[in-house]
Structure 1
Amino acid sequence: MPSKRRIRWAAVPVIAAAAAALAGCTPTELHGYMPGFDESGTPATNHTEQIASLWTGSWVILLIVGVITWGLMLWAMVVYRRRKGQTGLPVQLRYNMPIEIFFTSVPMILVIGLFAFSSRVQNDIEKPWADDEVDVHVTAIAKQWAWDFQYNDATTDGETVYSMGVQAKAAADGTLDRDELPTLVLPVDQKVTIDLTSRDVIHSFWIVDFLYKKDMYIGHDNSWSFIPTREGHYEGKCAELCGEYHSMMLFNVEVVSQSEYDAYIAGLEADGNVGDVNEEYNRLQNLTGTDGVVKESETEEGN
């Protein structure tokens, strides 16, 4: 039998090789190939790292449990298989209290542990900013099948401005012009609160790289507080089946510098998009499922 010293020396190159392999991984690979990370290593929001760690950690634990379980199953099938010449049933094991306690307590510990970690992360994500801490306050309004974004008290005079959205329109080859999609613009490294409201049915606000989504209900507004920490373009969509053109309910998210954000808000104000998005805009301003545009009289009838 090899001595303990030899075993330790044999483990050194294995550990070094594992460390070298992990060091060569990209941030995306280290987080289980989840979105929200790029080569810079900066996550998309202040919550992205925490969510990814919970997800990958849970899968690692479950994989370890699975490997142990599969190993025990295989061991039992090999060791206790019926051998040549054997007949009848093998010796039956009943009412073994230690085994029953083990197989009851271990799953309970795992479930309670996963719940505790998930609850802690969720509580951190769901904790809203205090009113005096919010830098950017946006209202995202969902409607079949597009998005409107209202920037509350965004101008220097404290006025509200907004942008109206229409649903995605697919070309004949199935491609989408994402430049025409509704766009939510946010400044980087600022505390953001987004109020989420629906005009018709249940929708779900999902920015893919932010690794989080929240449902939007009639009569019950949700909100979400976070800090976008990396400038760039992100894609958003409705994650709740909301009708015939649910798959076309897409939007863009642009995380930009503070100066670019201020210029965007000033542009909305200059275009006359000042005030609240009210019930006048309950329905889409384009023909559902087509690339046509509703006439003013048709829009009034739809309202």
Structure 2
Amino acid sequence: MRHLERFAVRDTRRVKWFAAPIAAALILILAGCTSQELRGYMPGDPGVTNHSDAFTNFWVNSWIILLVVGGITWGLIIWASVLFRRRKGEKGLPAQLRYHMPIEILFTVVPVILVAGFFAFTVREEAPVVSNFAEEEQDVKIEVYGKQWAWDFNYLPTSNTEYDSGVYYEGIQAQEIREPSEGGERGAATGEIDEAALPKLVLPVGANVTLDIKSRDVIHSFWIVDFHYKIDNIPGHTNTMSFVPEREGTYMGKCAELCGEYHSMMLFQVEVVSQAEYNAYIAELRAAGNVGSHGDDYNRNQNLPGTDVPEFNHESE
């Protein structure tokens, strides 16, 4: 009995000696983490939209779970490799074990739980973004057209008349800055982009924004990097993205789907501004003559599949 008590005390001391340095190391590591590291190196700042922080948390927690699973997996692999290694003087194959039901069940149930859990949390975080605000709740509605290799934006009217609308913007692809040259020839490219010439999407801070995502030609992908969400532009189909921009600033956007020769030049900027600045920008577009919208009639690809039955002329010649 005394022997067991001594063993228990000794075992507790060993645990303490191992746990103390591990805990100290974890405290030092976490204390040294920057805000960017704690956010899983996700781009941007906290609170850019009403959804961006939820996406960041989902990303970080997913990595923590996967690292734990990976650590356990590698630990079991190393443990089995060491414990069941061939010893000196041993010959032949070790005793073979088959159909160990607890392990078989473990290897089946755990992956199913992980996949189901990731699926459920993905649906939970994604559903509010791809759902439309109710018509009476929409403050700003914009049609976003991807085209080779730029972007068009139609600012459509909504029931909220506090936000100006009824204008359009047509963008051009990113323009390279070139070095000065003589004789009228084009100078050498500097490798930099003229940001002032990039297509610009202006959004009012704090507004319920709905974007209808469309394409004029091929498949593109609309991605505002700091918003932590991307959505495809599909020819003949409309995808929806709804959010509330909560932090004023300028954010970079790009096409995330390989769409042709100048895909890398399909850039744009998003400016989140105050309501007054937003209305002033819409007034500038109206004064420039950009009244109305440029819808599907301006699409380059007009040969889209439909639901009508084709008509054939059966009359003989």
Q: TM-score range by the shorter chain?
A: 0.7 to 0.9
Cα deviation 1:283-302 (Å, max 9, x = unaligned): 6xxxxxxxxxxxxxxxxxxx
1:121-136 correspondence to structure 2 within 5 Å: 121-136=125-140
Cα deviation 1:185-227 (Å, max 9, x = unaligned): 0011111001111111111100001010111111111111000
Distance 2:155 2:54 in 1: 28
Deviates more, 1:14-23 or 1:48-57: 14-23
The equivalent of 1:195 in structure 2 is 212
Distance 1:84 1:16 in 2: 39
Cα deviation 1:70-112 (Å, max 9, x = unaligned): 1111111111111111110000001111111111111111111
Cα deviation 1:43-93 (Å, max 9, x = unaligned): 211100111111111111111110111111111111111111111000000
1:205-244 correspondence to structure 2 within 5 Å: 205-244=222-261
- Asked whether the 8 Å contact 2:131–2:240 carries over to 1, the reply is no
Q: 1:165 and 2:182 equivalent?
A: no
Distance 2:21 2:70 in 1: 27
Give the AA of the match of 1:84: K
Distance 1:157 1:71 in 2: 58
Distance 2:251 2:258 in 1: 21
The equivalent of 2:58 in structure 1 is 54
Normalising to structure 2: TM-score of the pair? 0.80
Q: Say which SS state the counterpart of residue 174 (structure 1) adopts.
A: strand
- Asked whether the 8 Å contact 1:159–1:274 carries over to 2, the reply is no
Q: Say which SS state the counterpart of residue 67 (structure 1) adopts.
A: helix
Q: Say which SS state the counterpart of residue 114 (structure 1) adopts.
A: helix
Q: Say which SS state the counterpart of residue 186 (structure 1) adopts.
A: strand
The equivalent of 1:138 in structure 2 is 142
Cα deviation 1:147-178 (Å, max 9, x = unaligned): 01111127879751111100012231211011
User: Aligned residues: percent identity?
Assistant: 58
- The structure with the largest alpha-carbon Rg is 2
1:36 corresponds to which of 25, 44, 48: 44
Change (3 A) 1:238 1:82: same
The equivalent of 1:295 in structure 2 is none
Deviates more, 1:172-181 or 1:124-133: 124-133
Distance 1:127 1:170 in 2: 37
The equivalent of 2:269 in structure 1 is 252
Change (3 A) 1:15 1:224: same
**RMSD of Structure 2 on Structure 1 (CA):** 2.6
Change (3 A) 1:227 1:110: same
Deviates more, 1:251-260 or 1:14-23: 14-23
Change (3 A) 1:5 1:86: closer
1:1-303 correspondence to structure 2 within 5 Å: 1=9, 22=30, 25-37=33-45, 42-153=46-157, 160-171=166-177, 172-278=189-295, 281-282=298-299
Give the AA of the match of 1:256: V
Distance 2:165 2:37 in 1: 44
Distance 1:255 1:75 in 2: 54
Distance 1:282 1:125 in 2: 26
- Asked whether the 8 Å contact 1:162–1:273 carries over to 2, the reply is yes
Q: Say which SS state the counterpart of residue 92 (structure 2) adopts.
A: coil
Cα deviation 1:229-280 (Å, max 9, x = unaligned): 1111100011111111111111000011111111111111111111111467
- Asked whether the 8 Å contact 2:222–2:253 carries over to 1, the reply is yes
- Asked whether the 8 Å contact 1:235–1:253 carries over to 2, the reply is yes
Tell me how far 1:130 sits from its aligned partner. 0.4
The equivalent of 1:299 in structure 2 is none
Where in structure 1 are there 5+ consecutive unaligned residues?
A: 284-303
- Asked whether the 8 Å contact 1:36–1:48 carries over to 2, the reply is no
Distance 2:226 2:289 in 1: 32
Distance 1:222 1:165 in 2: 20
